[in-house]
Every structure is written in structure tokens, then in C-alpha cells.
Structure 1
Amino acid sequence: MKVKVIGLVMLLAMTAVLSACGNVKFKADYNYEMQEFEHINQRNETVSLESLKGKPWLGMYIFTNCTTVCTPMTFNMTQIQEKLIKKGIEDYNIVAFSVDPEVDTPEVLNDYLARYTVPDDSKWNLLTGYTQTYIEQYALKSTKQLVKKSPGEDQVTHMVTFFLVDKEGVLVKQYSGYNQDESEVPIDTMVGDIETYIEENL
């Protein structure tokens, strides 16, 4: 009798777990409204917050002369895209704001992206065409992230956070985009969040 009861309890527990897995809902962690912008990308195309609306996008801050975190961050973003493609997910964009715009012209950004094996570069927008002061203020106001370039320095301090912006232009999730232990970068979580968001909202 005891064996039957234990078996029944285990069966009910497994059913509950499977039911929960089938009802995963997207839940926003943040509600930061992105400030309007209109900049140029690595293809010399104009990209604005308005033009990105209608699809979610993953954002980050990088610069091409970065000697530390930007290379692994960009690589991690290519890995995210690779998994999105394998899942057949197409309704998204990737946006990288240069935090060193005086150096990072569209041509420089295009050459930078060419260093990586990018599964679909048509979805990538590496933005520039603004001042240093602008991007430092924009990052703080829109994403609550620090960007700071000290006078006379060629390196820029910036956070290593990826952020998910929904189809209305609101930042709803943030993730670690870089960690010395690559297993700590939640690539599968990001892919899962985008997949769930698209299924529920597009």
C-alpha cells in the first residue's frame, strides 16, 4: 500500500512539473522606456527606435578598440543568434551602441563585425554617429548603465550587460553578457526569453 501511495505522489509531482513547463509565461523584470534615437549603422543605414519597433531586440554597448570584454561579448551574441536560427526564430534584431563614436565610424564597425562568424549579419545594427557625451547620457537614462571615457584614454568604461527591449521600445530584461567563466553567461535563458516573448506577443 505504501509503495502505491509513493508511486501516486511521484506521478502527480511529475504531472505538475510537465504542466508547469508547458505554461511558461514571459515575465518582464524591468520597465525602462528607451529614449528616442536615430543613428547610423555599420552599413550607413539610418536606424531609429521607431524603426526597430514591432520586434524585440537584444542590445549591448561595445567599442572596436576594446582590449578586454567587447570581443567575448560580441562572440557571445553570435552564439545567441546561432541558437535562435536553429530554433527557426526570425523576428528580432541585435543592436550594439558604440561607446567610442569618434573612432567607430560605420566603416570601422563594419570591419569589426567582419572579424566574427556572424550567422546573419542583416539583423545586426552597430550604431554610431553621435557624440561621446550623448552616448554616456543615453546609456544612463535609457538603460541605467554606466558609460565613461576619461580624457586622454583610449579605453571606455562600460557595463557588460545585454538587455532585451520589447516590440514597444521598453527594456524588459537584463543579462550578463560576459563572465570569465563562460558557463555563467545565460545564453540559453536569453534565447528562451526571446522565444517565449515572440510566441506571446507577435
Structure 2
Amino acid sequence: MVDDAAVKRNIRLIVVAVAIFAAFAIYSVGSKLSGPRILNKYQLRDYGARVLDAPAPLAEFSLTDQYGERFALEQVRGQWSMVFFGFTHCADICPTTMAILAETYGALKPEDKAELQVVMVTVDPQRDNPEQLEQYLARFDGSFLGLHGTQAELTGFARQLHVAYEPELAGQDNYQVAHSGNLMLINPRGELHGYFRPPFVHGSLRVAWRSIRETF
């Protein structure tokens, strides 16, 4: 059983732990950070990144963000998007991932931030309403977007990104949702460009994304 108070406590502890870990991570990957700016596909794999040989164009879709604004294909064109599928009642994997994304995004230069948006897509539309998503994401970074929609809309978008998820014992108050932990990367043309595999490391995410962007 996972209650809201426990989830909130976990989030606070995870955010603090990730902030501390990030400092050590930056130091530990120092040799990599001073390496070549452009990484080949084998080097990218060392950073947990996989780039598709042929980026896959996304079909039109329609979801809604935490502010009630429509989020569709046009919203992913013109900038890079890191997309994570999760849910606000997740006890550990989701808050850990979002905390690392917050550290990664927060360390970027303003000009880099202008080229990247971080998006969390709920896999639990029954409980994750817009208000819930807004409150949850505010604990990490207020600029992050949280998307929701009908089950059919969410499933359709997830399939385009090759993300699978399934509620466990849905109908109970404290059910969990099994879901992929990958972080999907959409390029400015609105194509699935690649993905990052967990475990995620703040410094590695940043270096890998910059390299991918430079070779786009």
C-alpha cells in the first residue's frame, strides 16, 4: 500500500539524495566530460544513449498539459523533447528519474534550455488529473510539462514511442502501474530520434544529449 504522504516523503528524500549524488557524478565522469564533444554510437551507449539509424516520424496526436493547453505534434517540432512515461503515485522510479532530469536541466546554459523541453506523460489518467500533475512537477521544475488524456490517446502516443505500460490491480485505491523506464528523445522535426536507458546519471544525460544535438 502506498499513501500520498509516503510518496511525498520519498520525493523529498530522493530530490535531496539526487542533488548530493549529482555533485559526485559530475566529478566521477570528469574524464568523460573533458572528452570529445562528438560521441560515436558506441561511446553514446556508454552514456546510456541509443540513437535510431533512421528516426521515426510521429503521426499526429493530441494530449493536454497540466495547464489545460493542447499538446500535439506541433508542440514537439522546433526543439528537442525528453519524454518520460510515469505517474504521480509512483513510489521510487518516477521521482528518482524526474529528480535527475531536474538536475540535468537545471545545469544547462540558458541557450541549451531554449532547445530542450522535458515532458512527463502520465500512465495513470484515472488519478493524474491536471492539478495533480502540476503540483507533482512543481516539486522538480516548474517548466516541466505533464501530459494526460484518455486511455486511448495515451496508449496511442505510447505506442508511437515504443513504450509499454500496464496497471497492476487497477480499481484498488493504491494500485501501481508497470511501465518502461526509458527516457525517449524526440528531435526538432517531430521524429523519435532515440532513447536513454536507466540508470540515468545527471552528467551523462547532459553530455549525451549535447553530442546528439550537435550531430543532428
What's the TM-score once normalised by structure 1's chain length? 0.72
Q: Distance in 2 between matches of 1:71 and 1:89?
A: 21
Which protein is bigger by CA-based radius of gyration? 1
Indicate the residue corresponding to 2:74 in structure 1: 50
C-alpha offsets along residues 119-175 of structure 1, whole Å, 9 cap, x if unaligned?
xx33x21001222x4423432x21222111144352111011111110111122211
Could you say if the C-alpha distance between residues 84 and 144 of structure 1 is closer, same or farther in structure 2, counting changes exceeding 3 Å? same
Calculate percent identity across the aligned residue pairs. Answer: 22
Q: Unaligned regions of 5+ residues in structure 2, if any?
A: 1-34, 42-49
CA contact (8 A) 1:89 1:195 kept: no
CA contact (8 A) 1:135 1:147 kept: no
Corresponding pairs, count: 169
Q: Distance in 1 between matches of 2:126 and 2:60?
A: 21
Q: Distance in 2 between matches of 1:169 and 1:130?
A: 22
CA contact (8 A) 2:63 2:153 kept: no
| Secondary structure of the corresponding residue to residue 107 of structure 2 | helix
Q: 1:173 aligns with which of 194, 197, 215?
A: 194
Q: 1:100 aligns with which of 124, 128, 131?
A: 124
Q: Distance in 1 between matches of 2:130 and 2:40?
A: 35
Q: Unaligned regions of 5+ residues in structure 1, if any?
A: 1-19, 180-184
Q: Mapping of 1:182-193 within 5 angstroms?
A: 185-193=200-208
Q: 2:209 aligns with which of 186, 194, 198?
A: 194
- Tell me whether 1:41 sits opposite 2:65 in the alignment: yes
What's the TM-score once normalised by structure 2's chain length? 0.68
Q: Distance in 2 between matches of 1:198 and 1:174?
A: 13
Q: Distance in 1 between matches of 2:166 and 2:84?
A: 15
Indicate the residue corresponding to 1:29 in structure 2: 51
Could you say if the C-alpha distance between residues 137 and 48 of structure 1 is closer, same or farther in structure 2, counting changes exceeding 3 Å? closer
Q: Distance in 1 between matches of 2:98 and 2:213?
A: 23
| Secondary structure of the corresponding residue to residue 110 of structure 1 | helix
Indicate the residue corresponding to 1:114 in structure 2: 138
Q: Mapping of 1:117-136 within 5 angstroms?
A: 118=141, 121-122=142-143, 124-131=144-151, 133-136=152-155
* Letter in structure 1 aligned against 2:150: Y
CA contact (8 A) 1:60 1:97 kept: yes
| Secondary structure of the corresponding residue to residue 138 of structure 1 | helix
C-alpha deviation, 1:88, in angstroms: 4.9
Q: Distance in 1 between matches of 2:208 and 2:163?
A: 21
Q: Which moved more, 1:87-96 or 1:38-47?
A: 87-96
Q: Distance in 1 between matches of 2:110 and 2:212?
A: 17
Indicate the residue corresponding to 1:61 in structure 2: 85
C-alpha deviation, 1:94, in angstroms: 1.0
C-alpha deviation, 1:34, in angstroms: 2.8
Higher-RCO chain (CA-CA 8 Å, sequence separation at least 6): 2
Q: Which moved more, 1:189-198 or 1:167-176?
A: 189-198
Could you say if the C-alpha distance between residues 55 and 87 of structure 1 is closer, same or farther in structure 2, counting changes exceeding 3 Å? closer
* Letter in structure 1 aligned against 2:51: D
